[in-house]
Amino acid sequence: MPISRSFRLPKPTDSDLPSRRRLLAWSTLGAATLASAALAGCSDSSGSKNAAPQPSDGPNDSFSPAAPEDPSAAAGLPSPTASSTVAARTKPVYKVHDLLPNAPTDAIALTIDDGPSPVYTPQMLALLRKYDIRATFSVVGSQAHANKALIKAIAADGHTIANHTMSHPQPFSKRSDAQIQAQLADAQSVIVDAGAPAPTLFRSPGGDWSPAVFAAAAKYGMVPIDWDVDPRDWSRPGVPHITEKLMAAHPGDVLLCHDGGGDRSQTLEALKSVLPALKSKGLTFVTL
Ligand SMILES: [Zn+2]
């Protein structure tokens, strides 16, 4: 099914526009292609994140984007972001309460990246359903386009869907401004086209941020989200390692796991014990 014109977003201003031809080309991408692109996973190369709470950035940031052009509005077509542009930040969200100050004090957020995967996402959804946990899925646009039913299933189960670019290029911040914007816009289009609400959250591949990435997220109405508990499950370090890292989560932490980009059987096996154990410790799972 071709991408609906009605879901097109404001266009970047230079030659690297998200084109229908290019969007359609994503449908020809095989899982192996994405797997190779995403095998590096979301973890940053340093292996650790600044876990200190980061204050929210106000509207006076120096990276405030220009008002987006909105040709679809002029044409009377719906635009998922026309009224949702947000102020650009200078830091992503690392902690639950950075984004959700009124969340329970014992709240933690599980984020699940690089899917949807026809193999692992259904298993992840079943596991989350078993323990009555809602999570935040950072989906890759090409995967969303190839697995629309899974996007619907994620949304139907009450999980939040975040934009994780169209093809997960790394290092993301080294792309041109136009390429960065196109990655966000294309993913936003296919996620909405698959039947999910327009994401209001953006996660950069590898947690790789720059002023241009923050500006693009703001332009398309998304808050940048990062993480502070990283079991590096994408590298398949073994179930005990993943379990140990996740079990060290504290109230307010944002946990990173993966359901796409490769073999995620270790992740699933670890979560089978970690999810009920964290709940029994009194932590409350929330979506971002
Ligand atoms: Zn990723």
- Would you state the structure tokens that stand for residue 141, as one six-digit string? 């646009």
Q: Cα–Cα distance between 154 and 225 in angstroms, integer?
A: 19
Higher local confidence (pLDDT), 251 or 79? 251
How many whole angstroms from 84 Cα to the centroid of ligand 1?
A: 24
Q: Give pLDDT tens digits for 12-51.
A: 333 333 444 455 455 444 433 444 444 445 553 333 444 3
Which parts of the chain are beta strand (E)? 107-113, 136-139, 160-163, 201-202, 223-224, 254-258, 284-285
Burial class (CB in 10 A: 0-12, 13-18, 19+), 61: middle
pLDDT value at residue 86: 79
Topology of the domain comprising 100-288? TIM Barrel (3.20.20)
Query: Catalytic: 258?
Result: yes
pTM: 0.77
Could you tell me how far CA 225 lies from the centroid of its own chain? 8
**Amino acid present at 228:** D
Report the pLDDT value the prediction gives residue 191, as an integer from 0 to 100. 98
> CA 5, 199, 164, 16 torsion: positive or negative?
positive
83 CA distance to ligand 1 middle (Å): 27
Neighbours of ion ligand 1 (CB under 5 A): 42, 113-114, 205
* Predicted confidence (pLDDT) at residue 222 exceeds the cutoff of 70: yes
How large a percentage of the chain has pLDDT more than 90?
69
Distance 41 CA to ligand 1 centre (A): 5
Catalytic, out of 98, 113, 226, 233 = 113
- Is residue 76 a contact partner of residue 223, using CB atoms and an 8 Å limit? no
Sequential DSSP letters for 27-79: TT--HHHHHHHHTT-S--TTS----S--PPP-TT-TTPPPPPP-HHHHTT---
CA–centroid distance, 74 to ligand 1, in Å, is: 35
pLDDT top residue among 57 and 285: 285
Contact between 203 and 217 under an 8 Å Cβ cutoff? The reply is no
pLDDT range class, residue 195, cuts 50, 70, 90: very high
Q: What is the pLDDT of residue 75?
A: 34
φ, ψ dihedrals at 137, nearest 5° = -100, 115
Instruction: Compute the mean pLDDT over every residue in the chain, rounded to the nearest whole number.
Output: 81
Q: What pLDDT, on the 0 to 100 scale, is given for residue 52?
A: 38
Band the pLDDT of 85: cuts 50, 70, 90: confident
* Residue 168: active-site member: no
